[in-house]
Amino acid sequence: MSTAEERQVSSRVLTLPNLLSMLRLVLVPVFLVLLIRGEDCWALLVLVVASVSDYLDGFLARRYDQVTRLGQLLDPAADRLYIFAALLGLASRDLVPWWIVLVVVGRDVFLLGVGVVLANFGFGPLPVHQLGKLATFCLFYALPMIMLGQAFPMLAWWSDPLGWAFGIWGAFLYWWAGIIYAIEAVRVIRLTGAKSPGRSDTLED
């Protein structure tokens, strides 16, 4: 991140973009309850509101220089929670297999372990890989497509195949990005160890 970009990231909490992000988080349990109860139309409406607020908070943060550290944490957290909620709600109704839930959740548990290892070596989280963003995008839009087919059966003939295509591809990319992240973490740790006193300055790639 450049120095100019760093100056734009503030530690403010009460900003309009952050309030929109908090609204998204508050709506997660509402979304999950509606989905479990089979009220797919209302669940989709909540998801649309959350998606619009996601777009608005990003736009407003950039437009009015209100990018904050809190916002940078809340946005990806909200995305993941909606993905988890959609997976749990659909799996509880046997609309998606539980192994998909384990694949997606297992990947984040894996990265949590990588984060703990990095922290033990004195590192913070590494930059998010673009592949991870693409995977999140696929998953974030795959599950609503499956929900759309449940809410409006006349659309299922195209929404279900499209949703499953996005979902399977997104799950694959999700793990691929996670493995790349883990490899980069190992590289950073080895590089630091190689430069420490008493160790060789050379490092095999």
Question: Is there a contact between 169 and 145 (Cβ–Cβ < 8 Å)?
Answer: no
Reduced to 3 DSSP states, what percent helix, strand and coil does the chain have, rounded to the nearest 5? Answer: 80, 0, 20
Domain count, the chain: 2
Q: Using CA of residue 29, residue 134, residue 41, residue 160, what is the dihedral sign?
A: negative
The conformation of residue 68, written as its DSSP 8-state character, comes to B
**Per-position DSSP letters for 76-109, written without gaps between them:** HHHHHHHHHHHHHHHHHTTSS-HHHHHHHHHHHH
Which of 78, 94, 110 finishes a domain? 94
d(CA 164, CA 175): 17
pLDDT of residue 195: 56
pLDDT of residue 162: 94
Q: Using CA of residue 10, residue 11, residue 14, residue 16, what is the dihedral sign?
A: positive
Residues 32, 85, single domain; the answer is yes
pLDDT of residue 196: 52
Q: What is the pLDDT of residues 94-145, one digit of tens each?
A: 989 999 999 999 999 999 999 898 888 888 777 777 888 899 889 888 988 9
Residues 173, 204, single domain; the answer is yes
Q: What is the pLDDT of residues 35-64, one digit of tens each?
A: 999 999 999 999 889 888 888 888 888 887
Question: Domain range holding 198?
Answer: 96-205
Count CA atoms closer than 13 A to 165's CA, side-chain side.
Answer: 5
Residues 54, 125, single domain; the answer is no
d(CA 103, CA 91): 13
Whole-prediction pTM: 0.79
Neighbours of 14 (CB within 10 A): 8
Which of 67, 94, 121 finishes a domain? 94
Residues 39, 71, single domain; the answer is yes
Which of 75, 94, 113 finishes a domain? 94
Residues 205, 117, single domain; the answer is yes
B/e letters for 58-71, b = 16+ CB within 10 Å, e = fewer, are bebbeeeebbbebb
Tell the residue number behind the tokens 């734009």, with chain if given: 8
Residues 90, 127, single domain; the answer is no
Tell the residue number behind the tokens 């499953």, with chain if given: 164
SS3 at position 10: strand
Q: What is the pLDDT of residues 148-194, one digit of tens each?
A: 998 899 999 999 999 999 999 999 999 999 999 999 999 988 887 65
Residues 164, 108, single domain; the answer is yes
Residues 69, 122, single domain; the answer is no
Residues 136, 174, single domain; the answer is yes
Residues 127, 191, single domain; the answer is yes
